[in-house]
Amino acid sequence: MSLNRYRLRHMVKNNHKAAIKASKLLQRPDRLIGVILIGNNFVNILASAIATIIAVELWGEAGIAIATALLTLVILIFAEVTPKTVAALHPDKIAFPAAYLLQPLLKLLYPLVWIVNFITNGLLKLLGIKVTEGNHHHLSTEELRTLVNESGAVLKQRNQSMLLGVLELDDVTVNDVMIPRNEVQGIDLDDELDVIIEQLSTTQHTRLPVYRGELNKVVGILHMRNLAQLFQQDAVTKPAILQVIHEPYFVPESTPLQTQLLNFQKESRRIALVVDEYGDIQGIITLEDILEEIVGELSTGNKEENQDVHPQDDGSYFIDGTANIRDVNKSLDWDLPTDGPKTINGMVTELLESIPDANVCIEVGYYRLETLLISDNLIKTVRIRELDRPTEEDEEE
């Protein structure tokens, strides 16, 4: 009963003979327990009867008490606690050899086992308990997450982080990881051609949204690869750009990342425009953004290289107000709340319920936030310091 069910299934798939027998026995735990307890109780009662007869012959009526005390101690130590402790600590070593014995015993004692199980199952049914309940061992997402977190000795830290990233895809939406509208770089066809060519020549992105005047008037997505020949021929014009753009792809901001990853695969897309419930564009999401949630930063893997986070000598951090809270948590291994606003600026203004006129200092959980620069109705820079957390001894006091 202490066997790891998932290891057992793996061994069954690899045609491990003892594992196959043990798995078949565990399919009906009521029968397995029945045959074990029949043998166990038969031996205990038989030993008790023999010990009582011998004790009465040696000490008379006082031998009954002596036999009871001695036999209880012997059975408890040598037949119960010691072997069952060993079996619990090393179930594979005990269960697999035992399966070869228990399987024929079950066939031999099946009529007796059937009678015992019929009576016990009937009693359980009267109590509203189904014998077949609990035989299916499935893990929820939270249980899987706990299993991965506790497998540090087996999994490398990198692999552990990737598995946790995959498990969290359903809990994170497109809105959580998208590039916000004010940071989106695109081609405005209302700009002068020289400005557009300069932007195309210096951009670090391979895909850019193309729009007229504002992002909500997007006309398509431009892949820089399609402009390579035009650049060689010095024939980049606005009509030429319109000839090579692709139709824009829109996704709702509440789409879970796991769903969006499958949608990217299904639609053969790598970039999408994120829209809210009113159809206004809120930002863009790329395939790389989703992959980074699984494997971490694709460009830089170091926490210290987050451009929005600036460590200070006193242990605090200067953080840009537009920084994404989830990115800050990942960079510094913090747990700032992520169930509300997505940015530091949004979190502070929501807590204050207004845009502060002057610098303020507030505490959020175990973090002290102090605004340093406020302009244009936006908190530009915040100093954040992690506070000391109470120890278990402090909590007990």
The whole-angstrom separation of Cα 255 and Cα 272 is: 12
The last residue of a domain, from among 295, 324, 346 = 295
Judge if 17 and 79 occupy the same domain.
yes
Judge if 281 and 343 occupy the same domain.
no
The whole-angstrom separation of Cα 97 and Cα 92 is: 9
Judge if 291 and 313 occupy the same domain.
no
Total domains in the fold of the chain: 3
Alpha helices in 75-140 (DSSP H): 82-89, 91-108, 110-126
Q: Which of 281, 258, 260 is nearest to 269 (CA)?
A: 260
Pairing of strands 207-212, 187-188: parallel
In a domain, 161, yes or no: no
The whole-angstrom separation of Cα 385 and Cα 315 is: 7
Query: What is the CATH classification number for the domain harbouring 375?
Result: 3.30.465.10
In this prediction the pTM is: 0.64
Per DSSP, the three-state class of 218 is strand
In which band, very low, low, confident or very high, does the pLDDT at 274 lie, cut at 50, 70 and 90? very high
**Of the spans 64-78, 165-179, 263-277, 324-338, which averages the highest pLDDT?**
263-277
Give CB contacts under 8 A, 24+ apart, made by 370-374: 372/318
Judge if 92 and 116 occupy the same domain.
yes
Judge if 94 and 189 occupy the same domain.
no
The pLDDT value recorded for residue 4 is 81
Tens digits of residue pLDDT in 114-125: 898 888 888 888
The last residue of a domain, from among 69, 97, 126 = 126
More confident residue, 146 or 313: 313
Judge if 200 and 121 occupy the same domain.
no
In a domain, 249, yes or no: yes
Judge if 325 and 360 occupy the same domain.
yes
Beta-bridge partners for 308: none
More confident residue, 72 or 144: 72
In a domain, 53, yes or no: yes
The last residue of a domain, from among 295, 326, 359 = 295
In a domain, 43, yes or no: yes
Q: Where are the beta strands (DSSP E) in 253-366?
A: 271-275, 281-286, 309-311, 317-320, 361-364
In a domain, 164, yes or no: no
Judge if 281 and 311 occupy the same domain.
no
Alpha helices in 269-382 (DSSP H): 287-295, 325-332, 344-352
In a domain, 138, yes or no: no
Judge if 191 and 273 occupy the same domain.
yes
Task: Quickly list DSSP for 9-41.
Answer: HHHHHTT-HHHHHHHHHHHSHHHHHHHHHHHHH
In a domain, 48, yes or no: yes
Judge if 263 and 316 occupy the same domain.
no
Judge if 83 and 178 occupy the same domain.
no
* Domain region containing 77: 5-126
The whole-angstrom separation of Cα 12 and Cα 204 is: 52
- At 90, which amino acid appears? H
In a domain, 364, yes or no: yes
The whole-angstrom separation of Cα 19 and Cα 10 is: 9
Query: What is the CATH classification number for the domain harbouring 262?
Result: 3.10.580.10
The whole-angstrom separation of Cα 23 and Cα 60 is: 49
* Least confident segment among 62-66, 196-200, 314-318, 368-372: 62-66
Q: Which of 175, 179, 165, 181 is nearest to 215 (CA)?
A: 181
- Stated as kind and residue range, the H or E segment containing 175 is helix 174-177
Judge if 291 and 307 occupy the same domain.
no
